[in-house]
């Protein structure tokens, strides 16, 4: 009887631990609407969702271009309302269909998760990308290697292996994902100290010290507003519209304790 009671208690504790763990994930996308998100598309004011680019259908956040005669460099982003600093973000995505007419060649099956970003309201009307750290999402073209969860740095730099990296993009060591399969991308973000890109459970890229780039005009405006501070310890999260249709079926986040990290 005593052993049975201990087994029941142990099972109850395990269930409670599971429930607490599950409750830690915040659903940034509720599967119903775009509440708590703000759209910013190049050439339009923050909040103007030109062409219904971002929308919800069948429980999915969709990015589509049916209302575009041509893409015309109208790069867009959809921003979550709350900034974050220490967290894990998990996104399930897939590329579908064909690229919008006039979309740039490099943007085929291309999107991204923007981290440590500026607010949509602080962007210029003609600004194409928020100053941020981009976790670049790429789909395979049916042949050859094309990694996903790469790093791109609009208006920013990072440090890898003790070296300041000023190139715009750095490839990860991920596999290539062809077709319209769902892919799970996670990013572990610990303020200004370390950021890890994770694809289907595997760490594929990591770096430290995300910071504003003095060579970039938009970044320089932010540096001035921050009294000369360049290091980024937090900011907005946004998802991209870069001319190829994409669907997101999950966008969720778990906050992490900060400890002594900035």
CATH code assigned at 115: 2.60.120.560
pLDDT of residue 258: 77
| Average pLDDT over every residue of 9-27 | 51
**Residue 14 located in a structural domain:** no
Count of domains for the chain:
1
**pLDDT(189) > 90:** yes
Coil, strand or helix at 212: strand
pLDDT above 90 covers a percentage of the chain that reads: 87
Nearest alpha-carbon partner for 172 in 191, 200, 199, 143:
199
**146 domain residue, yes or no:** yes
- Structural domain includes residue 39: yes
Q: Is 218 left (phi over 0), alpha (psi -120 to 50) or beta?
A: alpha
In this predicted structure, the answer to whether residue 160 has a pLDDT above a threshold of 50 is yes
Q: Which residue has the higher pLDDT, 64 or 261?
A: 64
Q: Is residue 6 part of a domain?
A: no
Decide if pLDDT at 17 tops 80: no
pLDDT for the residue numbered 134: 98
Domain that holds residue 188: 28-251
Q: Is 262 among the domain residues?
A: no
Residue, of 14 and 164, whose pLDDT is higher:
164
Distance in angstroms between the alpha carbons of the first and the last residue of the chain: 51
CA-only gyration radius of the chain, Å? 20
In a domain, 23, yes or no: no
Residue 22 lies in a domain: no
pLDDT of 10 strictly over 90: no
- The verdict on residue 115 lying in a domain is yes
Specify which residues 95 forms β-bridges with.
Answer: 246
Question: Does pTM top 0.95 for this prediction?
Answer: no
53 vs 29: CA distance, rounded Å: 16
């Amino acid at each position: 009887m005593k052993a049975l009671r201990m087994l029941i208690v142990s099972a109850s504790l395990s269930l409670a631990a599971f429930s607490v763990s599950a409750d830690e994930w915040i659903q940034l996308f509720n599967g119903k609407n775009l509440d708590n998100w703000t759209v910013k598309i190049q050439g339009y004011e923050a909040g103007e969702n030109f062409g219904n680019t971002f929308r919800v259908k069948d429980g999915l956040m969709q990015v589509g271009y049916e209302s575009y005669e041509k893409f015309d460099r109208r790069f867009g982003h959809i921003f979550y309302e709350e900034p974050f600093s220490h967290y894990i973000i998990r996104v399930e995505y897939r590329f579908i269909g064909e690229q919008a007419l006039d979309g740039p060649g490099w943007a085929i099956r291309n999107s991204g998760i923007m981290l440590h970003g500026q607010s949509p309201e602080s962007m210029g009307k003609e600004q194409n990308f928020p100053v941020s750290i981009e976790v670049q999402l790429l789909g395979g073209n049916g042949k050859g290697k094309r990694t996903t969860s790469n790093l791109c740095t609009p208006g920013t730099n990072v440090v890898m292996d003790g070296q300041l990296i000023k190139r715009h993009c750095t490839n990860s060591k991920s596999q290539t994902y062809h077709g319209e399969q769902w892919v799970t991308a996670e990013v572990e973000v610990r303020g200004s100290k370390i950021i890890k890109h994770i694809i289907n459970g595997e760490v594929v890229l990591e770096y430290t010290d995300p910071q504003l780039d003095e060579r970039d005009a938009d970044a320089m405006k932010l540096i001035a507003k921050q009294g000369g501070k360049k290091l980024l310890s937090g900011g907005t999260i946004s998802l991209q519209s870069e001319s190829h249709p994409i669907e997101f079926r999950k966008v969720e986040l778990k906050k992490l304790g900060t400890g002594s990290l900035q």
